[in-house]
Structure 1
Amino acid sequence: MEQVQVVTTTEDAVAASQRAAPEAKAEARPSRAWARWGVLALLAVGALIAFVDRINISAALTTGPFKEHFSLTNVDRGWINSAFFWSYALFQVPMGWAVDRFGVKRPYAICFVIWCLASAAIGLMPALWGLILMRLLVGAAEAVVVPASYRWIRNNFHPDNSGAAVGVYMLGAKFGPAIGAPLAAWLIVHLNWQLMFLITGLAGLVWLVPWMLAVKSDLPTRAAATVAAAKKKVDVSILTILSSPLVWGTLVVNFCYNYFTFFCMTWMPAYLVEQRGLSLEQMGLYTFYSFMGIALVALASGYAADKLIQRYGRPVLIRKIFVVAGFAIACTVLLGARATDVNTALFWNVASLSGLGLTTANNLALCSLTLIPAPIVGRVKGVQNVATALAGGVAPLITGWLLHATGSFVAPMTLIFAFLVLGALTVIVMLRPEWAPKVPDDAEAKA
């Protein structure tokens, strides 16, 4: 039975309570290690496929035939990029409830089929309404990815050792855009945009075979349901959670981080083609470099932070240093926006997003695992995911509007710089263990 953590006012107490968690016992069983990492690899590949189906639209939006087919303006392009995130945000909490109630395996598989088919169907849509409807379906179904993945990681990895696990998962989340943009561009150049959607959507269904064969059913048993019912008696309401300054701090940090990443997923291809004059294939290559960079840095920095925590303790301080450093390096995006030389602009385009990888895994481990009491991780993560999806909905719209108003990407990228600075300051000022939502002292007995 899972031990419930009680947040105290000292960082050392947080670390000590986490080290005492029963998950450490599971990690001590070598015979189960391969299975844990194998499922984690499948989750990473699932995230990769999700992001391929999420970002392929951005490559299509740079092509004349696609824009002419749907008669798109810059503002229309912003709305299309944004549509995914509105349904994605709306279904975060329902999907979190679904994986808590029915486990990870079956809900993930059902949603996976839906988003792959909806992504493929974009290639068959005759009008703008059909395009938007399919993007809404993709967003709703992909809402299962984050709550399912983090539920599985939380149940199988100790928080102090979660940086590497989150880093492996984030390899898929970042390699998805890295692979998806050049793949979509190549398919459009050599075939057409209709076949690109059909191929990228349907090919992903192959993933279902190892998922259904290798992953054990985690449908909660009657005993687990009893424990879950007991945990629900812990009197921590959503209003109590939202009254925590730390929770609001995590919302701001997640919004600022994701505003930049979602800009890159939705508008970076157009920036590289329209403002920097790259061909569609060159755009795909430089997008690959940027997202490959953030993926590798995220994995390495998550692993490095885990090792430092194991040696020196102080998990909150160490992860905060990595998060702030990532925001600081990402601020070089402004240098790329204002560069007059194309090669200089491309260098900072890759360096800024790669540097943000220092933030990626450590921010997720810090805001979603280390600082949050175990009995309310699900509820807090649901709230955080809404903020993340809000960034995805707002970033494409504001970028499209600023591009329409100014005719340049300098203004949208200056706004990104401002959000990155805000994110770093929020980490320093607001992410304090003593400001976390409190769990009643009798929570452990109730659970």
Structure 2
Amino acid sequence: MADSITEDGPQASTRFTKGSWKRWGLLALLAVGALIAFVDRVNISSALTVAPFKAQFQLSDLDRGLINSVFFWSYAVFQVPMGWAVDRYGVKRPYAICFAIWCVASACIGLMHALWGLILMRLIVGAAEAVVVPASYRWIRNNFHPNNSGAAVGFYMLGAKFGPAIGAPLAAWLILSFDWRLMFLITGIAGLIWLLPWMLLAKNDLPSKASEAKVQKKTVKMPLLKILASPLIWGTLIVNFCYNYFTFFCMTWMPAYLVEQRGLTLEKMGLYTFYSFMGIALVALASGWACDRLIQRYGRPVLFRKIFVVSGFVIACTVLLGALTDDVNTALFWNVVSLSGLGLTTANNLALCSLTLIPAPIVGRVKGVQNVATALAGGVAPLVTGWLLHATGSFVAPMALIFAFLVLGAVTVLTLLRPEWAPKVPEDA
């Protein structure tokens, strides 16, 4: 398998036709769905700072850590099953069912009075949200030529990156305006509105009985163990873990770093956090589009994607410069630059690891496997950062570990992401 792997799939046309506008409109809807998912994912972080919420469930610091982590337990466990589901039954209906489940479960947190109920609802939210990434990338793979997927993924990632940027402030505003119970009820129920345009506009891609039988037969020929036998798949797992370790650090510990170590007020902390996540979102969109244009002009999709991915990891390594400086303004500069620079990696890494190098019939399952690494990063980064901070009293050690993971990610892209090592599917698939 060489760079020509991307010659299958939808045509790589750059012209905007009626059909292409519809595709981009549905992609925008998927981006909004990802934004809603992140709002329902991170609103708990604002509630955990509120005294009435902590008193209601009698939460210790250990309990708060538990509440933050349980989402990723079920999220990780259900990645592979959700990937199989969208490969087997299409994207539209599994996504709609899971979307409704997590919105209702998130809203029901506002009705809980016992800790076990709170934990149960978070587990349900995590399990249902596990469909988001496999379904979204399966849809992108089916509707965009891989050579044009960088811009598509970058556009989709606007929702995924702006979700954390606005989720916590929105939850805090709703808590201050009403209370924590109404915050969960409002954010959960309001999200259900998304289902109306999705059900009306998304194509019904549930296979016919004949196609379903054919897909089932081909699925048997490509078991999970055969997918995991590919060195390239393990390379993508390492790259995804390294990338997401940094991003989950930013989602969970950046506010504490800016307030406790850099002395910012809560207002300024929110501003600089927004700058960083806005930066990575916009750079992801621009770099995905730029790489697409280079591929269309010169070919070599794997080569160009790798150049952008490695460049993003290298620029993100400047996070350590921010940690080592004593000057607040310099630290803030590198804080924004490092996360924004990682945007060069964002869309192009996803296009490379989840679309360009992966055969279309197994995109959902592979993305499910890859997102286990993402969930693992989400569980490990906050815990290890807290332990290193407790042991050293400084954010230098946690950021030095981030630096090491970023270097590992870049090296893995160069050594393991080789097209000839991608999983092979039967020719008739």
Shared fold per TM-score greater than 0.5: yes
Aligned to 1:260: 246
Aligned to 2:40: 53
- What is the 5 A alignment of 1:30-49? 30-49=17-36
Shift of 1:80: 2.4
Shift of 1:203: 2.0
Q: Which AA in structure 2 matches 1:205?
A: L
Q: What is the aligned-residue RMSD (CA, Å)?
A: 2.4
Structure 1 pair 198–360 and aligned structure 2 pair: CA distance change class (3 A): same
Q: Which AA in structure 2 matches 1:23?
A: P
Give the secondary structure class of the aligned counterpart of 2:427: helix
Query: For 1:254-306, what per-residue CA distance to the aligned partner results, in whole angstroms no more than 9, with x for missing partners?
Result: 00001111122223233333433434443332222111111111111011000
Query: For 1:306-325, what per-residue CA distance to the aligned partner results, in whole angstroms no more than 9, with x for missing partners?
Result: 00011111111111110011
CA contact under 8 A between 2:276 and 2:336: conserved in structure 1?
A: yes
Shift of 1:220: 1.2
Q: Distance in 2 between matches of 1:143 and 1:332?
A: 32
Q: Distance in 2 between matches of 1:349 and 1:123?
A: 35
Q: Distance in 2 between matches of 1:167 and 1:193?
A: 33
Structure 1 pair 395–349 and aligned structure 2 pair: CA distance change class (3 A): same
Q: Distance in 1 between matches of 2:111 and 2:201?
A: 33
CA contact under 8 A between 2:134 and 2:365: conserved in structure 1?
A: no
CA contact under 8 A between 1:89 and 1:385: conserved in structure 2?
A: yes
Structure 1 pair 171–382 and aligned structure 2 pair: CA distance change class (3 A): same
Aligned to 2:169: 182
Matched, 1:158 2:145: yes
Q: Distance in 2 between matches of 1:60 and 1:340?
A: 33
CA contact under 8 A between 2:291 and 2:305: conserved in structure 1?
A: yes
Shift of 1:78: 3.3
Structure 1 pair 367–68 and aligned structure 2 pair: CA distance change class (3 A): same
Q: Distance in 1 between matches of 2:258 and 2:126?
A: 25
Give the secondary structure class of the aligned counterpart of 2:205: coil
- What is the 5 A alignment of 1:323-342? 323-342=309-328
Total equivalences in the alignment: 429
Query: For 1:117-160, what per-residue CA distance to the aligned partner results, in whole angstroms no more than 9, with x for missing partners?
Result: 22233334334433322221111110010111111111111111
Query: For 1:213-259, what per-residue CA distance to the aligned partner results, in whole angstroms no more than 9, with x for missing partners?
Result: 2223221112421431342353x443332222211111100000011
Q: Distance in 2 between matches of 1:385 and 1:344?
A: 34
Aligned to 2:377: 391
Aligned to 1:18: 6
Structure 1 pair 343–142 and aligned structure 2 pair: CA distance change class (3 A): same
* Runs of 4+ with >6 A deviation: 25-29
Shift of 1:212: 1.9
CA contact under 8 A between 2:84 and 2:365: conserved in structure 1?
A: no
Aligned to 2:424: 438
Structure 1 pair 289–37 and aligned structure 2 pair: CA distance change class (3 A): same
CA contact under 8 A between 1:81 and 1:396: conserved in structure 2?
A: no
Q: Which AA in structure 2 matches 1:319?
A: R
Matched, 1:354 2:378: no
Unaligned 5+ segments in structure 1 are 1-6
Query: For 1:92-138, what per-residue CA distance to the aligned partner results, in whole angstroms no more than 9, with x for missing partners?
Result: 12212222333222221221122122223333433443332222111
Structure 1 pair 259–435 and aligned structure 2 pair: CA distance change class (3 A): same
Normalization by structure 2: what TM-score?
A: 0.92
Q: Distance in 2 between matches of 1:277 and 1:187?
A: 26
Matched, 1:295 2:281: yes
Unaligned 5+ segments in structure 2 are none
Structure 1 pair 148–127 and aligned structure 2 pair: CA distance change class (3 A): same
Matched, 1:199 2:182: no
Q: Distance in 1 between matches of 2:399 and 2:103?
A: 32
Q: Distance in 2 between matches of 1:353 and 1:254?
A: 15
CA contact under 8 A between 1:55 and 1:266: conserved in structure 2?
A: no
Q: Distance in 1 between matches of 2:25 and 2:106?
A: 27
Shift of 1:378: 3.0
Matched, 1:111 2:94: no
CA contact under 8 A between 1:89 and 1:143: conserved in structure 2?
A: yes
Q: Distance in 1 between matches of 2:366 and 2:374?
A: 12
- What is the 5 A alignment of 1:269-308? 269-308=255-294
Q: Distance in 2 between matches of 1:145 and 1:438?
A: 25
Instruction: State the percentage of identical aligned residues.
Output: 78
CA contact under 8 A between 1:78 and 1:399: conserved in structure 2?
A: no
CA contact under 8 A between 1:181 and 1:284: conserved in structure 2?
A: no
